[in-house]
Structure 1
């Protein structure tokens, strides 16, 4: 599991940062990528990245401001041109379907795959299968905006091979049954309980991606205990009034949210173009004074999320 930042700027693209888009690399977990937001130029950013459009499975849109969705039509059609033929699901606030249908309809676009659009009506569970669960909650922004909590389900513990070997249990189908927690009777009459030979489950990882928001209880709730929190930090603390007026967050707001939620790693993005080069160090220093394990993302930067064994 790895995060890859395709665009980390706020409002409009700059020479240093494109507008918002983040990829979650799940190739090892499910052979796919998930995208979060798709600002203008996202498909161009993908051309310079390891992300493969044809292997993109889901796109989560946080809100309907242009710097978070103007790249959708180009991304969807390019996926067809590149041979993408597996289904793609887009999640987002009410209105995202109308935006997509209008753009594709007016341009006469034809997709080579099944496109499903899910408009979010309420907070809570959005998606679940045998490997992942995705939850969503409202944030505080000028228009309806959502954050997403991605929960990897726990992996089964490892089979205690040394213990089985010491007991003289022969390898084979028996091992598989014990791994599944079944009760097995050996030829010599011994009865083995699967639970006695399987280690503790390996905890799944939790990643929280927030859309634009000022500091709010919804963000703190959604981020509880996350391994990684991706939070906007449009401004430094000296622009607190400006941030609040436009429903955005400062680096201090982001760090405060991470600290209160017990987050491990905070990654700040959606950085105003007024902060260039070394000027972003001010945002980082402000955040690290509250939450030491904080980072500022930049375009084409990746962050690996290891399992906690």
Structure 2
């Protein structure tokens, strides 16, 4: 899994940072990516990456503030010109459907692909054989969600040495055992999957939060995540101002990461008052609370490695 930031500024773009958007490229054999928020100019940022709109499968909008949303209609419209664009699913708070419908009706926009808009509530909002997505409401000035993307566990490692001694050759039999099915040999001997396959390997967890003050749901969504993306609009010591605007300081983000026992924290959504040097200083200021923290910048890519097999 590969996460890339397309915009990392709070409220409005700057010369160095566009407003919020994040993409998550899914691992092989999946050949698609998901997007989280689409602030104004997102499709322009996307043009500077290797990603193509016809490979975009799902969009998750955290809330309906413009710096997270205003790029969505243009992106949806442009996607219709990408050959091979299949169905697209867009998730977000109540009001998202009427927003899209109003813009498209007013501008007489027509799409040549299927668009499904899902207005979410708390709980599991997506599930397939590979991933689940959970949404929970955060503490912001308007209704805002965070999303927890969880990869399903992978089968454990085959004990190929033992299978070789038992006379089982590589091929369909290996696949059957990996799927948890027992195998009967021609001589009648039964090889039990549980005896030749290691423990399932825990899937990866990525948590992407929208704008928020510190809250219990932020911690629960982030619990044991491999990567947490958390806003850090303000510096430590500006907690009163952050609360007034429904945001967090970098110190509060670091505390959430520590409390949730995440492996890595990426902070984003920086106020335009901070230049790159000041952002670096913000990171240094929270090392005592949480050390594995990185300041996001536009086009930063972060890999989320697989768990070590058992």
TM-score (norm. length: structure 1): 0.97
Asked if the contact 2:55/2:85 (under 8 Å) is kept, the reply is no
Asked if the contact 1:215/1:253 (under 8 Å) is kept, the reply is yes
More displaced stretch, 86-95 vs 47-56: 47-56
Q: How far, CA to CA, are the matches of 1:175 and 1:240 in structure 2?
A: 56
1:24-59 deviations in Å (ceiling 9; x for gaps): 011525211100000000000001112211100000
Residue 28 of structure 2 is matched in structure 1 by 28
CA apart distance, 1:89: 0.6
2:87 aligned with 1:87? yes
Residue 245 of structure 2 is matched in structure 1 by 246
Asked if the contact 1:254/1:287 (under 8 Å) is kept, the reply is no
- Cα distance change, pair 186–291 in 1 and its aligned pair in 2 (3 A): same
CA apart distance, 1:84: 4.5
Unaligned residue ranges in structure 1 (runs of 5+): none
Residue 98 of structure 1 is matched in structure 2 by 98
1:162-216 deviations in Å (ceiling 9; x for gaps): 2111222344443333222222222233221121111221210000000000111
SS at match of 2:11: coil
SS at match of 1:133: strand
Query: For 1:292-307, what aligned pairs fall within 5 Å after superposition?
Result: 292-307=291-306
More displaced stretch, 72-81 vs 196-205: 196-205
- Cα distance change, pair 163–75 in 1 and its aligned pair in 2 (3 A): same
2:217 aligned with 1:195? no
Asked if the contact 2:181/2:193 (under 8 Å) is kept, the reply is yes
SS at match of 1:91: strand
More displaced stretch, 158-167 vs 226-235: 158-167
Residue 175 of structure 1 is matched in structure 2 by 174
SS at match of 1:81: coil
Residue 276 of structure 2 is matched in structure 1 by 277
Query: For 1:145-160, what aligned pairs fall within 5 Å after superposition?
Result: 145-160=144-159
How large is the Cα RMSD of the aligned pairs? 1.2
Residue 111 of structure 1 is matched in structure 2 by 111
Asked if the contact 1:183/1:193 (under 8 Å) is kept, the reply is yes
Q: How far, CA to CA, are the matches of 1:227 and 1:170 in structure 2?
A: 36
SS at match of 1:148: strand
CA apart distance, 1:238: 2.8
Query: For 1:55-74, what aligned pairs fall within 5 Å after superposition?
Result: 55-74=55-74
Residue 127 of structure 2 is matched in structure 1 by 128
1:246-274 deviations in Å (ceiling 9; x for gaps): 11100001001001111110000001111
- Cα distance change, pair 114–187 in 1 and its aligned pair in 2 (3 A): same
More displaced stretch, 179-188 vs 207-216: 179-188
CA apart distance, 1:279: 0.9
SS at match of 2:76: helix
1:273-298 deviations in Å (ceiling 9; x for gaps): 11112111122112322100011100
Residue 138 of structure 2 is matched in structure 1 by 139
Asked if the contact 1:84/1:113 (under 8 Å) is kept, the reply is no
TM-score (norm. length: structure 2): 0.96
Q: How far, CA to CA, are the matches of 1:272 and 1:176 in structure 2?
A: 51
Q: How far, CA to CA, are the matches of 2:174 and 2:218 in structure 1?
A: 44
CA apart distance, 1:131: 0.6
